[in-house]
Amino acid sequence: MVDTRLDMLVDRLEAARMKLSNLNLAREDGAALDDPVYRDLIGELSSVQKDYFKFIEQDDQERLAVAEMQVSYQKKQEAEENHKTIQLLREEQLARGSCVRAVVVFKPSSPNANPTLHIEDNNTIALGSESYTFDRIFNPGFKINDISQYLEHTCGPSGTGKTRLMIRGEDEGVATSLVCNMVNRYTSNASIKYQGTWSAKGSVTLKVIEVYNNRLSDFLVQTIPGSKDSNSGVKILGSSFYKDEAGSHPITERNVKQPQDLQSTLTEINKFRASKPTRQNPTGSSRSHLLLIFTLNLEHRSSGLVFVDLAGTEAVDAAPSDGKGQSSGQESKKINQEGSHIRDDLYQLRAVIRTLNKKAPYNDGNRKLLAALKPYLQSTHVTYVVTAALDGQVKPLQETLKHAVEAMRVKAKET
């Protein structure tokens, strides 16, 4: 219909121009301005041109209205798809009775050590007379790609390789692997098809929060190469750090435009994160908890991906070490203080997990780690606990496995 009307107008315009051209060619001295035939042709040409431009304007308005309707329809479809996805997730969580999934990554203490753990199958592990069942167990020799779909929360004693597993594995950590795939897929120049609909390319951003000695800090401030023993170069965050009074987000956010950006950022993070050698981990144990908060923004939707690398648990008598088994009294006192904060954080985290079916005690002990995790420890999120199990350390291993089992008991509630 539209194309036919346009063709008719173009034909009329060309016919009027042709008549005017023939009239000019027929007269050697050119057409006189007061010639009635000439004036009629000029009038006809002007009328057709007005109709033509009026039609083009109307057509543009119609096309714009159609485009707006298509965008509105697409948003409605995506909202319905999001609702269906959330409903399917809730139904699946209700069916399994828990909104937390747990996986164990098994690592022998040494190649020739006598194993204290016995892996019965892909879901069950035995330690002494007790058996523990998880969503998945990965044997030694696992690849990062094998577990990259399990995310968000790692736990385990010091020296079990949690940080290496999360962000600095030899073949990339879980976070690196997952986010690099996300960056390659969603920030390319080509549009992408997601759940049956086409969306424009998106953007990926990263915020990093460190919890050190019950103190929250913004890890991506430009002056981060300051001393970890002072506040120099570190932006300290208050209890309401996610949103200030104006509703803005004060935490530094960095765009991740390509995988190299992420890799260089994680290298920087590992360089300046609080870390010291201990007897259980002489090469350097993380003395702080770290939250990597990724946000994926598409044209009509956004989503979040949060990785939490918890500091390693240690017994009270696990003396600090300078790598040679010795340390000064002042350094020993400092590392024991760090260990005390770490144990308090993890104790309160377990308390939250145990009581998550009721009212979680996020304010108990005023622990900053709980304040940082509060938005994500909810049944509306999918949470994966990745447990780094180091064979040979029976007591801490039992505590770690029990923590993962407790997390799996967090019930999904109907909303």
pLDDT tens-digit profile of 174-228?
777 777 777 877 776 545 554 444 445 678 888 888 888 888 888 887 544 443 4
Place of tokens 């609080």: 274
**Rg value, the chain, Cα:** 32
What is the model's pLDDT at position 137? 83
Q: Percent of the chain having pLDDT more than 70?
A: 51
More confident of the two residues 386 and 299: 386
What is the model's pLDDT at position 187? 73
Q: Is the pLDDT of residue 301 over 50?
A: yes
Q: Mean of the pLDDT values across residues 156-164?
A: 50
DSSP for residue 189: S
Residue 16 CB contacts under 8 Å (≥ 6 apart), including other chains:
41, 44, 45, 48
What pLDDT band is residue 154 in, cutting at 50, 70 and 90?
A: very low
Q: Measure the CA–CA gap between 34 and 335, rounded to whole angstroms.
A: 103
Residue 98 CB contacts under 8 Å (≥ 6 apart), including other chains:
408, 409, 410, 411, 412
Residue 254's closest CA among 276, 278, 224?
A: 224
For 157-380, the fitting CATH number among 3.90.1260.10, 3.40.50.720, 3.40.50.300, 3.40.850.10 is: 3.40.850.10
Amino acid occupying residue 22: N
Range name among 9-18, 82-91, 220-229, 276-285 with the lowest pLDDT average: 220-229
Q: Measure the CA–CA gap between 273 and 167, rounded to whole angstroms.
A: 12
Residue 40's closest CA among 16, 18, 9?
A: 16
Q: Measure the CA–CA gap between 94 and 19, rounded to whole angstroms.
A: 78
What is the model's pLDDT at position 168? 53
Q: Measure the CA–CA gap between 139 and 271, rounded to whole angstroms.
A: 30
Q: Mean of the pLDDT values across residues 151-178?
A: 55
Q: Is the pLDDT of residue 341 over 80?
A: yes
- What stretches of 128-228 adopt beta strand conformation (E)? 130-133, 136-138, 152-155, 192-194, 197-199, 203-212, 215-218
More confident of the two residues 7 and 212: 212
What is the model's pLDDT at position 13? 67
Sheet holding 130-133, edge to edge: 117-119, 124-127, 130-133
Three-class SS of residue 340? helix
Q: Measure the CA–CA gap between 212 and 335, rounded to whole angstroms.
A: 12
Half-sphere exposure of 280 (CA within 13 A, CB side): 24
Q: Which tens digit of pLDDT belongs to each residue from 377-412?
A: 665 667 777 777 776 667 777 877 887 888 777 765
Report the mean per-residue pLDDT for the chain: 68
Cα angle at 355 between 149 and 353, to 5 degrees? 30
Give me the residue spans of the domains in the chain: 1-19+36-96, 157-380
Residue 316's closest CA among 285, 348, 297, 341?
A: 341
pTM above 0.75, yes or no: no
Asked if 286 contacts 212 with a C-beta cutoff of 8 angstroms, the reply is: no
Q: Is the pLDDT of residue 317 over 50?
A: no
What is the model's pLDDT at position 359? 57
What is the model's pLDDT at position 152? 41
Q: Would you list the DSSP string of 8-38?
A: HHHHHHHHHHHHHHHHHHH-TT---TT-HHH
* Residue 172, both tokens: 């990339």
Helix/strand/coil (H, E, C) string of 137-162?
Answer: EECCCCCHHHHCCCCEEEECECCCCH
What is the model's pLDDT at position 18? 74
Cα angle at 272 between 266 and 277, to 5 degrees? 110
Place of tokens 């950590």: 173
> Cα-flanking dihedrals φ and ψ of residue 322, to 5°?
-95, 15
